[in-house]
């Protein structure tokens, strides 16, 4: 499986719709770096939730991942697009 992009909305530390593209990889390595609390783990939680409907640590459910910073009417969802063998697969999971 190779991720292409993830869209996160009102999930974890991401209050607004945020799109992260993994297609910028030139050397086969994609680094996720940032300060403490900047949302690095949330990216992995979002990928894991999109694939398995649970967070990466398995401790929090989807409802607990609703961003406390999001405006009330913002939808909470995770959308992952990835390549599996020769197939491009896109899944969107609404939370709450």
Q: For the residues of 15-65, what is the DSSP string, one character each? A: -S-EEEE-TT-SSS------STTSSHHHHHHHHHHHHHSS-TTSSS-GGGG
Tokens, residue 49 = 């939730």
Question: Mind listing the domains of the chain with CATH numbers?
Answer: 2-94 (3.40.50.300)
Give pLDDT, residue 58.
Answer: 67
Backbone angles phi, psi at 67, to 5 degrees: -65, 130
Q: CA-based Rg of the chain, rounded to a whole angstrom?
A: 13
Which pTM value belongs to this model? 0.85
pLDDT digits (tens, 9 = 90+) for 80-90: 999 999 899 88
pLDDT digits (tens, 9 = 90+) for 31-71: 889 999 889 999 999 999 898 888 777 666 667 889 999 99
């Amino acid at each position: 499986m190779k991720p292409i992009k993830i869209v996160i909305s009102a999930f974890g530390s991401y209050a607004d719709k945020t799109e992260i593209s993994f297609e910028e990889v030139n050397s086969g390595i994609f680094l996720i770096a940032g300060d403490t609390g900047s949302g690095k783990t949330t990216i992995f939680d979002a990928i894991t939730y999109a694939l398995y409907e649970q967070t990466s640590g398995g401790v929090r459910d989807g409802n607990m991942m609703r961003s406390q910073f999001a405006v009330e009417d913002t939808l909470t969802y995770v959308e992952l697009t990835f390549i599996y063998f020769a197939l491009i697969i896109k899944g969107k999971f609404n939370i709450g």
